Amino acid sequence: MVASPDAAVAAEFTGLASDERIANTAAALERNGIRPLLAATAADARRLVSSLLPDGAEVYNNTSQTLESIGVADDIERSGRYQPLRLRLYRMDREMQQREMRTLAASPDYVVGSVHALTEGGSLLIASASGSQLGPLVSGAGQVILIIGAQKIVPDVAAGMRRIYEYCYPLEDARARRAYGVPSGVNNILIINKAVAPGRVTAIIVNERLGF
């Protein structure tokens, strides 16, 4: 079992960024080809996501405390407005439909998720144990929407990596053991420095602590 983050680590990585840091980070994202949107509250973020997802869209919601805590996972899976891919994948026959599952999971029209760290230079860091959710973020999904609590803003990539290993990983490990009965692991890390396809990636920075 991985030790929980100590008080100092928690203090470093849970403080909400100031308005100035948020604004600077948003500007950096924009320079990097990532569209920044600012939400004052979780409820505002939820409404923004709803406005960005067209009715009938094929949407995959990444495993994310942020999405679950603010109701976006609910909206995607149960509102009836979208084609929620998790539901479709869950009822597929893992023996006979492996290829269909892979193809479906790899290239949704929309993927909605969060990150583990957002640097002031406009880089996004996401860690994943299975790695299955990273491919769509990089290139498979048509559109990417990320909801990021402002406590995740860090000075640079090095701080982002520390946030992953020292803060997020112990919490995620505990969650995985509860949810899956198996430990987690920082098995894959994705760093998005720039988005090459214009308009593909949207980052909603929320002025609340959301997720890990």
Partner 1 sequence: MSMFDYDARPVTPLLVLVGDTASRDAYAIRDFLSRNGYPFEWVDAGRPDAVRAVMGVTDLDLSALPLCILPDGSRLSAATVAQVAAGLGMVAAPARPEYDLMIAGAGPAGLAAAVNAASEGLRTVMVEAVAPGGQAGTTSMIENYLGFPNGISGSELATRAVVQARRFGAELLLARPLTGVRSDGPGYVAELADGTLIRGRAVLFASGVEWRRLDVPGVDDLLGAGVYYGAGPSEALACTDSQVVVVGGGNSAGQAVVRFSRYAKQVTLLIRGRDLGASMSQYLIDQVSAIPNAEVREQTQVVGLEADDRLRAVIVRSGDAAEPVRLPADALFICIGGAPRTDGAAGTGLVTNTAGYLVTGSDAAREPGSNWPLPREPLPLETNLPGVFAAGDVRCGSVKRCSAAIGEGSMAVALVHRRLAEAGGD
Determine which residue in the list 86, 162, 175, 209 makes contact with partner 1, applying CB under 8 A: 86
In whole angstroms, how close is the CB of 202 to partner 1 at the nearest point? 21
Contacts (CB under 8 A) with partner 1, residues 185-204:
none
69 binds partner 1 (CB under 8 A): no
DSSP structural state of residue 7: H
In whole angstroms, how close is the CB of 183 to partner 1 at the nearest point? 10
Residue 112 near residue 60 (C-beta atoms within 8 A): yes
Determine which residue in the list 48, 49, 59, 73 makes contact with partner 1, applying CB under 8 A: 73
30 binds partner 1 (CB under 8 A): no
- Spatial neighbors of 196 by CB under 8 A, at least 6 apart, are 33
- Sort 205 into a burial class: Cβ within 10 Å, 0-12 / 13-18 / 19+: buried
In whole angstroms, how close is the CB of 110 to partner 1 at the nearest point? 15
CA dist 137 and 126 (Å) reads 10
In whole angstroms, how close is the CB of 171 to partner 1 at the nearest point? 16
In whole angstroms, how close is the CB of 78 to partner 1 at the nearest point? 5
Number of helices (H) and strands (E), helices first, in the chain?
A: 10, 10
- 16: its two tokens: 């909400």
Determine which residue in the list 78, 156, 158, 194 makes contact with partner 1, applying CB under 8 A: 78
Determine which residue in the list 3, 7, 20, 99 makes contact with partner 1, applying CB under 8 A: 99
Distances from the Cα of 54 to the Cαs of 11, 74, 168, in angstroms?
38, 16, 32
Distances from the Cα of 93 to the Cαs of 37, 59, 78, 85, 158, in angstroms?
39, 20, 22, 14, 42
DSSP structural state of residue 121: T
Tell me how many residues contact partner 1 (CB under 8 A).
Answer: 37
88 binds partner 1 (CB under 8 A): yes
- 24: its two tokens: 């600077």
In whole angstroms, how close is the CB of 149 to partner 1 at the nearest point? 18
101 binds partner 1 (CB under 8 A): yes
Which residues lie near partner 1 (CB under 8 A)? Answer: 56, 61, 63, 67-68, 73-74, 77-78, 80, 83-84, 86-97, 99-101, 105, 129-130, 132-133, 176, 179-180, 182, 184
